[in-house]
Amino acid sequence: MIPLIRKGTSIKFEPSELKLNDYNAVIVASPVWIGTMPPPIQEFLRRYSIMRSVIVTTSIRSMKTERIENIVEKISGIKPLLCMNVRDTIIKDPVKIRGAIKDFIERFKAAVGGSST
C-alpha cells in the first residue's frame, strides 16, 4: 500500500495488477528512439510477453514494419499481431492521419477477429 497524504488526510492506495489476459490484444504505442523502442516500453514487452500485442510506433524517419516486428520479437520472444509506423509527415496532415487511422482500424479488426467492440 502506498499512503497518500494531502491536507492532513491519509488515503491508502493499493495498485492493482494488470490483467491483460482478459483482452484479445493490447495496443502498445511508442516513439522510436535511436532505432529502437524506449526502455520502459521494452520492459513492458518483456514483462507481458505472453500477451497478443499490436505495436504502433511514431518516428521522423521511414522505418519498415518488419524491422519493428523484429525488434518486438527479439525483446518479448513473440511476434506482434500487427505493426504500424506512423511518420511525422502523416501526423501533421489531417487527411493523411485520418487515412492512417482508418487503415489501422481495418487491419486491427482483421488481426483480432473482426469485432469492433
Domain ranges in the chain? 25-112
Query: How do strand 9-13 and strand 26-31 relate by DSSP bridges?
Result: unpaired
Position 39 scores a pLDDT of 93
d(CA 70, CA 67): 5
- Residue 87 host element (H or E): strand 82-87
φ, ψ for residue 4, nearest 5 deg: -110, 130
Q: Is 75 helix (H, G, I), strand (E, B) or coil?
A: helix
Whether this prediction's pTM lies above 0.95 is answered by no
User: For residue range 12-38, what is the model confidence (pLDDT) as tens digits?
Assistant: 767 677 788 788 888 899 988 888 889
Confidence of residue 5 (pLDDT cuts 50, 70, 90): low
53 close to 64: Cβ distance less than 8 angstroms: no
